Amino acid sequence: GLSSSIGAHTIAQACISANAAICAGAEKIMTNHADVVLAGGAETFSDVPIRLTRPIRQKLIGLPKAMKKGGPLGGMRHMLKKLKLKDLGLETPAIANYTTGEVMGVSSDKLSAKFGVSRQEQDEFTVRSHSMAQQAHTDGWYNQEIVPYKGSREENGIKGDSTIESVSKLKPAFVKPHGTHTAANSSFLTDGAAMSLLMSEEKAKELGMKPLAYLRDWSFRACDPWQELLLGPTYCTSELLQRNNMSLNDLGVLEIHEAFAGQILSNLVAMNSDEFAKKNLDGQKIGDIDMSRLNVKGGSLAVGHPFGATGSRLVTTASRRLQDEDQRFALVAACADGGLGHACLLERYDG
């Protein structure tokens, strides 16, 4: 375990929380405020907090005072006074944006309609993700990346036998009855944890460790939560490439978070749109993504999306792919609730 003298803190930035933690850790190392940093995240969607309704909570807060004045009878009167039948219930957490009130599935469905991404295209991308994730596990590629649980590295969300025919049967889950997003082409919520180990090159040599990659640069941006909630990867990728005088041709590995098939495909359309670039990216179109470089070990649609862990998983997979595929640079990008986005640039370590 770690010494009790080692400080720690939590970063909350929705789906890119781990990315923010990794970059914050890198900044600490760069400014000599840390030698070694562990950055990542965990999520337990199987045990989410379920609250009493607000009226009941308010009653309970005032209960001690009421009982002090009137005893048990006074406490009972306090609890029942002005309480309505509809107040007797439980509140389950909703993954909805605080500004728009929309769940992300609705926002992604709207984004897909805006960029002309069809249900067929989304279902095809979904099957691709599951097939590639299954193949990666069959090949044993994830054996060095997944810590066994009860002796098994098997993931319970990958459906390697998915077909266009099977996923196309599902009904819309968010925008009904004519939406394009279903339970199949949306990432599922799952428990999960991931951690990334960061240090300077000098420290790694001192400890006798060989890194997988350099973290060269990163971007965090925000966009309109009403119309572009999940379009952050496009804005961040544009900023990153322009700042480093690079193009998509320089990127041999691409790992982009698959919150929804429609979300990632909408980003790909935006990246290759002259009109979008002219209006939003200073005329600098990102270009057409080479699908043979994108998420070739599967993505969040297949392995799930534990919010706090996904960012670290993406960085780990991209870093390992750089070594495995003998590529120089990798792009990691992800969207997040609130109209937030992230992208970072990794370079293969050869030292």
Distinct helix (H) and strand (E) counts, the chain: 11, 8
305: number of CA atoms within 13 Å, CB side? Answer: 23
Q: How many CB atoms lie under 10 A from the CB of residue 41?
A: 28
CB 296 within 8 A of CB 132: yes
CB 212 within 8 A of CB 324: no
Peptide bond into 177 cis (omega under 30): yes
Q: Quickly tell me which residue has 């428990």 as its tokens.
A: 191
The catalytically annotated residue of 23, 223, 236, 335 is 335
The catalytically annotated residue of 15, 23, 223, 236 is 15
Catalytic residue status for 223: no
Question: Dihedral sign, CA of 141, 146, 148, 153?
Answer: negative
| Closest C-alpha to 266, from 124, 105, 108 | 108
Pairing type for strands 329-336 and 253-256 reads: parallel
Chain centroid to Cα 166, Å, comes to: 26
List the Cα angle 60/66/69 in 5-degree steps.
160
Catalytic residue status for 15: yes
Residue 183's identity, in one-letter code, is A
The span from the CA of 294 to the CA of 265, in Å, is 12
Q: Quickly tell me which residue has 């991308």 as its tokens.
A: 125
Catalytic residues: 15, 335
